Structure formats: C-alpha cells, structure tokens
Structure 1
Amino acid sequence: MSLGYVLKEGMAGLNRARLAAFTSVFSLFVAVLLVGVLSRVGYNAYEVMQILKQQVEVEVFLQNIDDRTSQEIRDRIESETIVAELSYISRDSASKIFQQDFGIGSDALADLQFLPASYKVKIVENAEITQIDSLVQQVSGFRGVDEVRFNQALLQTLESRTETLFIIGGAIGAFILFVAMVLVFNTIRLTIYAKRDLIRAMKLVGATNSFIRRPFLVEGMMQGVIAGTAAAAIVFGLFEWVVPQVVPQLGVLSWPFGRWYFLLGAILILSILMGWWGSRWAARKFIRETKVYTTN
C-alpha cells in the first residue's frame, strides 16, 4: 500500500465525520494544553521549592573552644557528602550581624559578646530530610559543639506540599488524557461505521485488517498533529508574553531544561501518541468486528 493512499484516506476521514473530528481535535487540544500548563507550573513549583530548600541551613553553635578543635569540627562536617558549603561566623561577626538585625538599642547587648561562634552549613539540593536529620544528630555529638539548629518543620512542609502538588497534577493530567483518548476512539469508530460497506468489500477481495487499519491510524495522528500544534503555540504565547506582562515577577521562571522547545516538543509528541493510540484502539476493535457477508 502506497504512502500516498494512506495519507489521502487518512485526510479524507477527517471530512467524513467533521463534527466528530472537530470534537476529537478540540478535546485533544484542551487535554494537551492543560497537561502542558500543568507541566510548566509543576516544574516551576519544583524549581521554587528547590530554591527555598537551599535557603534552609543547619547552624552549628560552638562552645568556647580553641582554633584546633574548631578546625577539626569543620573538617568533619565538610567530609559529609550532603554538605554543599560551610561558612564560619566568629563571635565578632555574630555581634555585628546582631546589631544589623536588631538596630537601635542592640549595641549594649552586642558588646557583651554573649553570641557564640558558629558554622552555617548549606545542604545539597537533593538531600532528604532523613539524611539532614542524621547529620544533625551526628554533629550534635561532636566535642566542642554546643547546639545544632535545623528548621526541620519547614523542610518537611516544603517536601509534603511538593509531593501533594505532583500527585494531584498527575492525577488530573491522566484523567484529562484518558477522556481525550476516548473521544478520539469514538471519532474513529464513527468513521469506520461510515465506511463499513467499503471495509466489507475490501475484506472480500482479500485485504487484511492491518491494511484497512492504516488510514485510520493516520487520521488519528493527524488529529494529534493539529491539536498538539495549536496547544504548543498557546503554551508558548502564554508563558513567553502573557504571563510576564500580567505578572512580571514570574517572567524570570525558566522553561524545563532551560529551553522552550523541550516542553513544546513533548506536547506535540504526546498529542500525536494520544491520537494514534485512540485510533488504534478503535480500528483494532471495530474493523475486526466488521462482518463479511457472502451469498451462496
């Protein structure tokens, strides 16, 4: 079977049931558009969560110890794999920070030198709460360490909200895609029903189910191309022009993997796959069930 025949019959199928085809294309368009928007929002939410996680620090307050003991503590902390950066804050530096934070009236307290020296520990991006908690417990037992502070509640809240966001977004996206695929299925089914006499005739002259099925697969994929192209264009315009104009602060948020074409390409490919799968589902089912009647 020539490629030209397959494409011609696939395009003709869009004209045979125009209302059903339009409904299918529009549903696919809405589905992949929403999935694209959810993916971009979900990625940016994850990006923001990672930035907030980087701001969560472990503070190690030291006792009145000598420089050698302080250096030993530093070396042991830096040897941990989840430690990204470590900075030392002396007693004098702590007093200056106290004065800057509390302003007028804090000079007298700062002069008392009651603030201890400390280390501020920044954690790597992908560290889990259990790893950080294990580090806190370990450092707390070091000789010369007075106290270790870590805002565990904040980090747990961030991880919990991120997980909830992905679960809800994934469930919504899967449901939308399933509904769109069912509509493609129904559209191809109507097209097959409209061509049932031709299909019977083709079977009588020896055409296989695979031969008959290919134009319908092309029709479903064409629906996916139309819907995916329109959805990708809307997503690009929305996040490149509309959102930065309405909310300028969100204009700094990046596309997944730093380039717009990764997400838009994924939208188009997803739409084509959904059109192909829905048409394949319908074609395999109803072409096989189309009976051939012969006269004795």
Structure 2
Amino acid sequence: MAKIKKLGSTPNVMVVISLTIALFLIGMCGLLTLNARKLAELVKQNVELQVYLDDDLTTSKLDSIYKILIKKEFVLLKENSPQINFISKEVAAKQFIEESGEDYRRLLGDNNPLHNLYAVKIKQEYFNDAKLKEIKVALELIPGVHEVAYVENFVDEVNKNISKIYLVLSVFVMLLLLIIIILVNNTIKLSLYSQRFLIRSMQLVGATNGFIRKPFIIKGALQGLTSGLVASSCLILLQQLAVRKVEGLVLLQEMDKMIYLLLGILIIGTLMGILSTFQSVERYLRLSLDELY
C-alpha cells in the first residue's frame, strides 16, 4: 500500500544539513570577529606611556607627580584603580639586562644611566598617535618629568591592522551570507518539489493559501531551529577544543558575547527556514497546473 503524503512533510535531513553548515560558517565568522575585537582591546589596554623622572626627586615630589597623573582623564581605570605603576631605576636596570642580555655595568660600573619612571596605561579612546603626542607634550611640562616615551609607530600600525581585519571579515560574511541564502533557498525549494501536486489539490478543494502555508512554515521554522542548535553545539565544541590546545586563547573568551552570538545563530536559522520556506511555497501556490509539470 502506497504511503499517503501529509501536507508539509518535506525531506528533512538535507535541509537541516545545509542550514547547519551555513549557520556554522556564519558562527565561525562571528567568533573570529569577537576574538579579533577582544585581542585589539587587550593590545590597547597594555599600551603604556613611560613617564621618566628627573634624578634625585624626593618622596614628596614623587607623590606630587603621581597625584597629578591620576587626575588625568586619559589614565585607564580598572575597578576604579588608576593603572599607574612606579618602576625604580634599579628595577628598570634589572629588566633591561634580562630582556637585552647585555650588562651595562661592564662599561659603566655601578653608575645606573636609567631613570625612575611611572608606567601609565591609557584608555582606548586615546589610542592614536595624534592624541598620544598631545599627552606627551602635556606631561613633559610637569616639573620633575624628564621625558615621556611610547612606541610611536606601533599605535598606528595596530589601528590600521584592526581596521583591515574588520573590513575583510565584514566583506567575507556578507558574501557568505548571500551565497548561503541562495543555496538554502534552492535546497528548500527542491524539498518542496515533491509536494507541488498536493498543494494544487488543496487549492482545488478550497483550502486557503494561509491554511496551505501553515504546516510548511512550521516545518521550516523547526528545521531552522534544529540547524541552529546543531551549529551552536559544534561551535561551542570547537571553541572549547581551541581553548585547550592554544595557549593564551582563553584570554580572548567573552561568555556574554558568546551567548549573544549563539542566540543570533538560532534566530538567523529560524528566520532563514521560515523565509525560504515561505518563498518556495508562494512560488508553487502561484503556478498553473501546466507549469507544475
């Protein structure tokens, strides 16, 4: 006995697989964007202004300079604490020897040529060469400040590279989304092909277009939601595997942003399933009997 087809019963596996692959690729682009944004944020937060001080400053003078610095609006605050560290010239000398591998004492003896300094971290909105130059000039006017230094070319290079990364990812996501919409739409259209005569039969017995659409739309929404759940699960597994294998990657993880990304995948999957199904059903609803063949 032949099996009677039910309205809305379309091939499920291929549609879910196609949608899952599409949503996973979109999620990967989103995850890369989040990691790139977090990496840029960490880089910016670790840029320091090195405020070198004059020799033989008294403790009260050092405190006075510190109080001036903490009032500056460009100083980064973390938990309401200004990110300013005092580094004595003895500590600076030790760091120099460890990093460079060269011992200046062989040439200069115990005469330490370095200066005491304040290492000042700055807020992200001041992360460009023009503003940093203004800050440098202003700080060097403070009595007791010998010189202010920072890695000048590094700042602009980071900003340029960040902009390039965002541009490339944005273009890639838009192209990928366009291709995916076309592929998923064709897949759903083919899955509905076997039901075209059943749709026509329902029209002939007086069923309204809304009544005919309903089971297909519900099925499309469920397919999209299922694909979103599978794609989200794969994305989480891939992320956790990467965190375990790549040292330092855990610093780039933001759970709140990740949750929004996963919710976005579920919403996009559901909408793609509904809209593609709606468009395909509409096409068959408008076809004449001759065109169905």
The TM-score with structure 2 as length reference comes to 0.75
Aligned residue type for 1:148: V
Cα distance, 1:188–1:79 mapped onto 2, change above 3 Å: same
Match of 1:274 in 2: 272
Match of 2:69 in 1: 77
In the TM superposition, what is the alpha-carbon distance from 1:121 to its structure 2 partner? 0.5
Kept in 2: contact 1:188–1:216 (CA 8 A) = no
Match of 2:3 in 1: none
Cα distance, 1:54–1:27 mapped onto 2, change above 3 Å: same
In the TM superposition, what is the alpha-carbon distance from 1:175 to its structure 2 partner? 2.0
Kept in 1: contact 2:20–2:231 (CA 8 A) = yes
Question: Which ranges in structure 1 are unaligned for 5 or more consecutive residues?
Answer: 1-7, 16-20
Cα separation, 2, equivalents of 1:79 and 1:266: 41
Q: Percent same amino acid among aligned pairs?
A: 28
In the TM superposition, what is the alpha-carbon distance from 1:59 to its structure 2 partner? 0.7
Cα distance, 1:193–1:35 mapped onto 2, change above 3 Å: closer
Match of 1:18 in 2: none
- Choose between structure 1 and 2: higher helix proportion: 1
Aligned residue type for 2:111: L
Q: Deviations over 1:176-216 (max 9, x none)?
A: 22222223322443455544444445445554433332223
Match of 1:249 in 2: 247
Cα separation, 1, equivalents of 2:150 and 2:102: 28
Match of 1:123 in 2: 122
Cα separation, 2, equivalents of 1:214 and 1:195: 14
Mean alpha-carbon deviation: is it higher for 45-54 or for 172-181? 45-54
In the TM superposition, what is the alpha-carbon distance from 1:49 to its structure 2 partner? 3.0
In the TM superposition, what is the alpha-carbon distance from 1:153 to its structure 2 partner? 1.9
Q: 1:182 aligned to 2:182?
A: yes
1:1-296 → structure 2 map (5 Å cutoff): 9-10=7-8, 12-14=9-11, 22=14, 24-64=15-55, 66-67=57-58, 70-84=62-76, 85-101=83-99, 105-107=103-105, 109=108, 111-125=110-124, 127-129=126-128, 130-190=130-190, 194-203=194-203, 207-241=207-241, 243=242, 247-249=245-247, 252-253=250-251, 255-257=253-255, 262-284=260-282, 286=283, 289-290=286-287
In the TM superposition, what is the alpha-carbon distance from 1:109 to its structure 2 partner? 2.6
Kept in 2: contact 1:50–1:125 (CA 8 A) = yes
Question: Which ranges in structure 2 are unaligned for 5 or more consecutive residues?
Answer: 1-5, 77-82
Mean alpha-carbon deviation: is it higher for 217-226 or for 192-201? 192-201
Q: Please tell me the root mean square deviation across aligned C-alpha atoms, in Å.
A: 3.4
Q: Alignment partner of 2:10: what SS?
A: helix
In the TM superposition, what is the alpha-carbon distance from 1:235 to its structure 2 partner? 2.0
Cα distance, 1:132–1:216 mapped onto 2, change above 3 Å: farther
Cα distance, 1:235–1:292 mapped onto 2, change above 3 Å: same
Aligned residue type for 2:266: L
In the TM superposition, what is the alpha-carbon distance from 1:258 to its structure 2 partner? 5.8
Cα separation, 1, equivalents of 2:61 and 2:112: 20
Cα separation, 2, equivalents of 1:288 and 1:142: 78
Cα separation, 2, equivalents of 1:155 and 1:45: 16
Cα separation, 2, equivalents of 1:54 and 1:146: 24
The TM-score with structure 1 as length reference comes to 0.75
In the TM superposition, what is the alpha-carbon distance from 1:122 to its structure 2 partner? 1.2
Aligned pairs, number? 276
In the TM superposition, what is the alpha-carbon distance from 1:151 to its structure 2 partner? 1.3
Aligned residue type for 2:30: S
